[in-house]
């Protein structure tokens, strides 16, 4: 019996020791695992994922934009990211929109070149060149807004004189939108990988804490950027340190960190206030 108890307590001590060891590891320790989980089933090759993880380890203490620049040097072309595609579908079917990083850009409509937006893109010399081409006189001393108004009136019923230019303008808008979406996607990826690595680190700390007295603490997600979309997710979330894919961010670009609340301390404070 003594030998059995010794083995059982020995296992428990080793378990605590392992938890405590991992709890002391910095977020950078989890960056490779985080990258693999976030990019599961993506089109980015494993070798590139490893290179990306190393770059994010080096830039983990720097602003997101700086880390994204390093990532853009590695990921130079668009890529398939099933995790993001899934959550875009979920968001489109939801009554509320995510508040996470980059989702404001995803919500923007595709740009369409209208006569008004085309003329607004032209500077005064270009506007005057167009009036000369159309045989409109007396505009050289006008303000830019007035020249645009004259051209709007002239072209409103027939845009054929600027059809080719507007087609080129539409292509320019589409290319700018494509580049913006790509950069935003990479920034969302970097944010998600680094935050997941941090929360994998936090999960080990919390697991070590709970291994001593799980009934003492409530584990929850805290976020400064939270709307109805996030509140529903956070209410359903359950802490599982053995499943790193379940840790924040709960969707690409989401915010949130794992926090604990001492329930006994909260109870004593409540009793003291009565």
Compute the Cα dihedral for 174, 180, 186, 189 and give only its sign: negative
- Cα separation, 239 vs 216, in Å, equals 15
- Is the confidence at residue 19, as pLDDT, over 70? no
pLDDT at residue 20 in the model: 64
Alpha carbon of residue 40 to chain centroid: 16
Mean pLDDT of 47-65: 96
Residues 6+ apart with CB under 8 A from 274: none
**Which of 111-115, 133-137, 152-156, 214-218 is predicted least confidently?**
214-218
Half-sphere exposure of 222 (CA within 13 A, CB side): 7
Q: Each residue of 120-134: b (16+ CB within 10 Å) or e?
A: eebeeeebbebbeee
State the pLDDT confidence band at 4, using cuts at 50, 70 and 90. very low
Which residues, in sequence order, are CB contacts of 81 under 8 Å at separation 6+? 39, 42, 43, 185, 189, 252
Angle in degrees, CA 109, 113, 116, rounded to 5? 110
Q: What is the pLDDT of residue 230?
A: 96
pTM: 0.85
């Amino acid at each position: 019996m003594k030998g059995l108890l010794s083995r059982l307590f020995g296992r428990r001590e080793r378990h605590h020791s392992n938890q405590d060891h991992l709890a002391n590891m910095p977020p950078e320790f989890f960056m490779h695992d985080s990258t693999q989980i976030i990019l599961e089933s993506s089109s980015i090759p494993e070798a590139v994922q490893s290179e990306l993880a190393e770059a994010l380890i080096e830039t983990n203490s720097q602003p997101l934009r700086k880390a994204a620049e390093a990532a853009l040097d590695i990921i130079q072309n668009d890529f398939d990211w099933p995790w993001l595609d899934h959550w875009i579908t979920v968001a489109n079917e939801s009554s509320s929109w995510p508040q996470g990083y980059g989702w404001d850009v995803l919500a923007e409509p595709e740009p369409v070149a209208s006569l008004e937006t085309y003329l607004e893109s032209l500077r005064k010399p270009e506007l005057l060149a167009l009036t000369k081409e159309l045989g409109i006189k007396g505009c050289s001393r006008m303000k830019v807004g007035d020249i645009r108004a004259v051209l709007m009136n002239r072209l409103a019923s027939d845009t054929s004189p600027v059809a080719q230019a507007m087609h080129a303008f539409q292509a320019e808008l589409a290319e700018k939108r494509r580049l913006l979406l790509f950069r935003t996607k990479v920034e969302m990826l970097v944010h998600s990988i680094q935050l997941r690595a941090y929360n994998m680190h936090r999960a080990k700390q919390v697991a070590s804490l709970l291994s001593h007295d799980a009934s003492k603490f409530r584990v929850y997600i805290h976020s400064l950027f939270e709307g109805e979309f996030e509140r529903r997710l956070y209410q359903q979330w359950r802490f599982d340190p053995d499943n790193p894919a379940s840790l924040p961010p709960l969707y690409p670009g989401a915010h949130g960190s794992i926090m604990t609340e001492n329930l006994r301390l909260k109870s004593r404070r409540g009793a003291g206030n009565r």
